[in-house]
Amino acid sequence: MVKSQNKAKPGMSEVEEAVRTLLLWIGENPQREGLLKTPARVAKAYGELFSGYNQSADEILGTVFEEVAGYNEPVLIRDIGFFSHCEHHMVPIIGKAHIAYMPDGKVVGLSKIPRIVDMFARRLQTQEAMTAQIADTLQDHLQPKGVAVLIEAEHLCMAMRGVQKQGSSTVTTAFRGAYARDEKAQANFMLSLRGQR
């Protein structure tokens, strides 16, 4: 779990007041009918959108299975949809993660991999950091022979503001263990994703 640097976490009334201030700042009237409940709605939505701060990898990856019947080939989960928020502008990032790991005598439930993606995605992020965080967490907790992560995403901070380039995507990769050392393993991972996006 990520700890805030602030000692006291603001209460709901303080969050709602901050939203009212933003509404005033953009030129809106927080007292008009359509906006009366907006501060409470925004506070509730932020609680959901940034729920990753309240999750831990230890809890998500705490159970592994050692009965794998000799299976030692890569496990690949692709097209894991996610949304996050850019830490620079707090604007959405929407993308897909593709993750493989080479078991070393134990595997994890398949649903745990997307949960790790969501845990990191539901925080303020950069795509580069998120890619590394997922790879490092899986390598540290599962201790597989290797981990490969590829993330492709559209950053609305580029589409809605700044250069305003809709439809452009960013691709980041992280390789750990055998994937970092073995170019053939990396190539096989990339080939397994070809034509699937």
Question: Any catalytic annotation for residue 85?
Answer: no
Question: Any catalytic annotation for residue 88?
Answer: yes
Residues 6 or more apart whose Cβ sits within 8 Å of residue 51 = 122
Give the annotated binding-site residues: 86, 89, 157
Question: Any catalytic annotation for residue 98?
Answer: no
Which is the catalytic residue, given 86, 98, 133, 143? 86
What is the per-residue DSSP string for 35-54? Answer: GTTHHHHHHHHHHHHTGGGG
Question: Any catalytic annotation for residue 86?
Answer: yes
Q: Where do the DSSP E strands lie in 3-109?
A: 64-65, 75-86, 92-102, 107-108
Question: Any catalytic annotation for residue 157?
Answer: yes
Which is the catalytic residue, given 16, 55, 98, 127? 127
Question: Any catalytic annotation for residue 141?
Answer: no
Of how many residues is the chain composed? Answer: 197
Which is the catalytic residue, given 55, 85, 133, 157? 157
Question: Any catalytic annotation for residue 196?
Answer: no
Give the annotated binding-site residues for Zn(2+): 86, 89, 157
Which is the catalytic residue, given 17, 28, 89, 154? 89
Q: How many CB atoms lie within 10 A of CB 77?
A: 16
Q: Characterize 14-27 residue by residue with b for buried, 16 or more Cβ atoms within 10 angstroms of its Cβ, and e for exposed.
A: ebbeebbeebeeee
Of 37, 34, 46, 55, the C-alpha closest to 10 is 46
List active site positions.
86-89, 127, 155, 157
